[in-house]
Structure 1
Amino acid sequence: MNYILNIETATKRCSVSIAKEGKTIVCNEIAEEGYSHAERLHVFIEESIKEAGISYKDLVAIAVSQGPGSYTGLRIGVSAAKGLCYALGIPLIAVDTLKALAAQVRVESGIIVPMLDARRMEVYSAVFSAGLESKRAIQAEIITEDSFQEFDETLYFVGDCAGKCKTVLTKANFVFLEDVVYPSANEMSAFSYEKLVNNDFVDVAYFEPYYLKDFMIMTSKK
C-alpha cells in the first residue's frame, strides 16, 4: 500500500494527514492564534501514524505544503518533513499550498481564488478554474477595488483574508466562502499521490519553501 504522510503548516493551522492510495484515512489538525506548530506537529504525526494502524516503515513518501505562507510555519513543516525523509530513506513531495486551499471548494463552474494574508492589504493569491486548473500564477498583490476586474465569471474567494477584502471586492460576481479559511493536509492527499505516481519529487537536501517575499526581520528604532 502507498501510504503518504502529509504535513501542512503554512498558516495558523497545524495539520497532518495519512493517506492511502491518495485518500485521507486520518487527519489531525488545529488552528490557534499563537502558532503552536512547534509543539503540535510531531505530536500530530505520532498520533496520526498510530490511528492509521501503520508504522513509519510503511510510509513511501512525505509530502509538505510548499507555500506561500508563514515563514516560521513553513520552516517548521519543511524541517520535520526533511528529517523524516532522511531517517526513513524516502522521497519528499512538495504540494502547492494555495491549490490545496482551493481544493476545499466544490463548484461546477466559476473561478476559485485562494488568498492568504500577507499583512495590511496585501495577500498571496492564485486563480483556479472549478476543476483546479491554474488560471493565473501565484503572486503577492495589494488588493484594491480594481483587483480581479478582468473576470466576468463568478469568483469564489477563500482563505483568511475575507475580513479585510470583502469591503473592497464588492462586485456582484464576487462571492466570499468564509467557512474555508486555512489549507489542510486533508486536501493534500490526492495531490501528493499524483506526484508519487509521476515520480515528481523534490531534492531533500536543497528544497526550500516558496516564501514568495523575502523574510524581513523587524528591528527596534531605539
Structure 2
Amino acid sequence: MKILSLDVSGNYSSISLLNGDEVTSFTQTHERKDRPDWDTLFANIEFDSQNDFDNLSAIAFARGPGSYTALRITASFLKAIAEVKNLPLIAVSSLESIAKEASHWIDKSEAKILVTIAADATESYFCGFKKNSNGIEVINEESVMQMEALSEFLTDENCYFAGTGWPLELKNSTNFLSQALGSAEPVALIAKEKLETNEIFLPENANPIYLKTPEYKKS
C-alpha cells in the first residue's frame, strides 16, 4: 500500500509518502502566507509528480480545522488529481492526526487525549480522544472553545494534552505532549487504517472542515 499525504492546516507544510511500513516525510514551518509550492514539497520526499501518482493506492490530507485558504486550496488541488488518476481521496481530521501522533508518546495502553488547535487569541478548536487497543477513538464532537473553558480541563490528571491551542499555564503540566504538533505522517497512518476497511472514498466527498466562518466570509 502506498499513500501520499499532506498537512498544510497550520503554520507549517508537511508531506509524507507511506510505502508499506515505511514513511518518508518532510515538514517546513513558516508563516501562513509563505507556504512552499507543491513542487518543492514533492521534491523533498523525492516524489515525481509526473509519474508517481500512477503508483499510489490513495491520497490523504488533513481536512482541518485550520487555515481556511490553505485547506480550500489543498482540497481543490488533490480532488482534481484524485479524479484524473481515479484514486481514493481521504480527508483526515487535523485534530485526530495530532491525537494519533500524541498516542505514540504515551506508554499506557489506554488513555484520554485532549487536543486543541489555536483558532485566534481567545478561542481554539477542540476534540477529545481515547487511546485503546483499537487505536484512537473520538469521544466528542469537534468544536470551538473559549480559552477560559479549556483551562477547566487542566486539573484532570488522567488526561494527556496535545496541540497548539492551550492556555500558557499548560506548558508546566507533565501530561502536556509538546512533541505532538501535527504533520502529514499521522495523516497517512490514519488513512491507511481507513483504507483497510474497504470503505469507498470518493474525491467529491473529501471536504475541508472549518468550524469557524472566516471574518471576510461573514455577512
TM-score by length of 1: 0.81
Mapped to 2, the partners of 1:98 and 1:149 lie a distance apart of 17
CA displacement at 1:71 relative to structure 2? 0.5
Aligned residue type for 2:188: S
Are residue 119 (structure 1) and residue 120 (structure 2) matched? yes
1:80 is matched with which residue?
77
Mapped to 2, the partners of 1:117 and 1:175 lie a distance apart of 19
Mapped to 2, the partners of 1:119 and 1:48 lie a distance apart of 32
Mapped to 2, the partners of 1:140 and 1:85 lie a distance apart of 31
1:188 is matched with which residue?
187
1:15 is matched with which residue?
14
Unaligned runs of 5+ residues in structure 2 are none
Mapped to 2, the partners of 1:56 and 1:207 lie a distance apart of 18
- Paired residue total: 209
Mapped to 2, the partners of 1:205 and 1:74 lie a distance apart of 15
Determine if contact 2:17/2:24 at 8 Å carries over to the other structure: yes
Moved more, 147-156 or 95-104: 147-156
Aligned residue type for 1:123: S
Q: Counterparts in 2 of 1:23-38, with a 5 A limit?
A: 23-37=21-35
CA displacement at 1:56 relative to structure 2? 2.1
1:166 is matched with which residue?
168
Partner secondary structure for residue 126 of structure 1? strand
Mapped to 2, the partners of 1:28 and 1:49 lie a distance apart of 10
Mapped to 1, the partners of 2:65 and 2:45 lie a distance apart of 25
Q: Deviations over 1:134-164 (max 9, x none)?
A: 22221111021675459844222221224xx
Q: Structure 1 217/145 Cα, relative in aligned 2: closer, same or farther at 3 Å?
A: closer
Mapped to 1, the partners of 2:66 and 2:114 lie a distance apart of 15
Partner secondary structure for residue 43 of structure 1? helix
Determine if contact 2:90/2:206 at 8 Å carries over to the other structure: no
Partner secondary structure for residue 189 of structure 1? helix
| Structure with the larger helix share | 2
